[in-house]
Amino acid sequence: MAATETARSGGARPWVFWVRIVVSIGLLALLVSRIDFGSLVPEHPHVATLAYLALGLAVTFGGLVLSAWRWQRVLLVFDQRVPVRVLLSHYLAGQFVGNVLPSTIGGDVLRVGRVSNSTDSTSTAFASVALERLTGFVALPLLSFVGFLAMPSLVEGDTARAAHFALLVDGVSLVALVAILVLAGSPRLAGRFRDHVNWMRFIGAVHLGVDRLRRRPRLALSVLYAAVVYQLSTVLAVWCAIHLLDLEVPNAAVLAFVPAVAMIQVLPISLSGLGVREGALVLFLHHWIHSGHAVAIGLLWYAMLLVVSLLGAPSFAIGHRVGASHGARSSNDGGDGEESRG
């Protein structure tokens, strides 16, 4: 299966994993040295502090539910109908692997392997995860642009440099996304791999998904809507972290800058974005809060996701046994047509 092949390729480069750990530790050590831990505790903690923490955790979990819903919308592009509860189980397991048990493989490979049991096609499973990830690079810049439109003064004065950099991140992400979609949607480029039976069939599956989205605009809009709602939940979780620390940052600024941070943190140079995320928050929010508070917001953001990711432990354990059982049955039955052809 593709998951197995990717796992082997990931395991063949363990030095990448250790480099990312070193980068994360180095960046965090530099940033944490700026924190005045005494100032992180709100001067007047009250019920609202716990309320913001509870709301942040609830929103983070709700974001994973929305992720599963977004994934379901993408799978419909391939005429695959998988219940949200099943996809949520796969998503929680992937988050557990990616955040609690970080590795060179990551949770997306696990999700591909798990959902392929429902789609009976590894290439379709791969394409659904790839396209689901790509939707974020449409939704995040859109949300960021809305934030700047709501507060045009961000591009002036002391915040101008940070705003220009955030807009650059938005622009580069959109340009890269358009380039990927053009290549993936081209019949002469990605389309010629549709009938291949080796690993290049994954490229062909992505082409099929892009082509269907182009021909079915209503479905494409539903996928985009699901992506925007999910990414908005991410912004709301960070907003909760800001207010949990009793800090004041304009709501429009949060909407403008947090999506840029979310895009920057996926750069494969650190472990789970640690250090990169906090550094980006320092850059973007320095006008309203000092660097120690910005680092604390980033760590709270990650901590909430880490806590919610622990809910994926049962899905990871149980799903592993179910997947193994399914694989044994498929092997005895001769496997699905696609894998036997490969």
Percent of the chain exceeding pLDDT 70 equals 73
Residue 187 clears pLDDT 50, i.e. is over it: yes
CA proximity to 116, closest of 80, 148, 140, 144: 80
For the chain, helix, strand, coil in percent to 5 are 80, 0, 20
Asked if residue 31 is part of any domain, the answer here is no
Asked if residue 165 is part of any domain, the answer here is yes
DSSP string of 50-71, one letter each residue: HHHHHHHHHHHHHHHHHHHHHH
Asked if residue 24 is part of any domain, the answer here is no
Any idea what DSSP says for residue 310?
T
Per-residue confidence (pLDDT) for residue 30, from 0 to 100: 67
Residue 7 clears pLDDT 60, i.e. is over it: no
Give the domain range for residue 252: 47-317
In this structure, what are the phi and psi dihedrals at residue 216, rounded to the nearest 5 degrees?
-125, 75
Asked if residue 149 is part of any domain, the answer here is yes
Asked if residue 12 is part of any domain, the answer here is no
Residue 67 clears pLDDT 50, i.e. is over it: yes
For residues 204-208, give the mean pLDDT. 70
Give the tens place of pLDDT for each residue, 127-162. 888 888 888 889 999 999 999 999 999 999 899 999
Q: What is the mean pLDDT of the chain?
A: 80
Per-residue confidence (pLDDT) for residue 9, from 0 to 100: 39
Asked if residue 27 is part of any domain, the answer here is no
Give the tens place of pLDDT for each residue, 255-304. 999 999 999 998 877 777 888 899 999 999 999 998 888 988 999 999 99
Asked if residue 231 is part of any domain, the answer here is yes
Asked if residue 35 is part of any domain, the answer here is no
For residues 13-24, give the mean pLDDT. 66
**Number of domains observed in the structure of the chain:** 1
Give every CB contact of residue 93 below 8 A, 6+ residues apart in sequence: 107, 110, 111, 114, 312, 315, 316, 319
